[in-house]
């Protein structure tokens, strides 16, 4: 799977960027639909860590904003 995504990034960087932004938008929407008492697992590198929905949402929003800022600089 990693080779597929890296090939996409090299062959069509704009499409890759759009996919990354959409992935974070979907993750934020899915996290928003969960009850606040539920815990979730967040991937950090190759490991998953248990965290709150609020922390996971904050992390996704930061990644989302980074991709948006990257889009404006390219």
Q: How many domains does the chain have?
A: 1
As a whole number, mean pLDDT of residues 3-32 equals 81
Whole-angstrom distance, CA of residue 50 vs CA of residue 21: 24
Nearest to 34 by CA among 60, 59, 52, 58: 52
Structure tokens at 17: 């960027």
As a whole number, mean pLDDT of residues 21-47 equals 91
Structure tokens at 52: 């709150």
Whole-angstrom distance, CA of residue 30 vs CA of residue 9: 25
The 10s digit of each residue's pLDDT in 38-71 is: 989 998 889 999 999 999 999 999 888 888 887 7
Are the CB atoms for 52 and 65 separated by under 8 Å?
A: no
Model confidence at 28: pLDDT above 80 = yes
Q: What is the pLDDT of residue 30?
A: 94
Residue 50 lies in domain = 2-73
As a whole number, mean pLDDT of residues 7-36 equals 86
CATH of the domain at 29: 1.10.287.370
């Amino acid at each position: 799977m990693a080779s597929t995504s890296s090939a996409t990034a090299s062959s069509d960087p704009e499409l890759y960027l759009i996919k990354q932004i959409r992935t974070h938008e979907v993750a934020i929407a899915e996290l928003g639909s969960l009850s606040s008492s539920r815990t979730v697992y967040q991937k950090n590198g190759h490991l998953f860590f248990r965290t709150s929905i609020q922390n996971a949402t904050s992390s996704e929003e930061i990644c989302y904003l980074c991709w948006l800022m990257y889009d404006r600089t390219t």
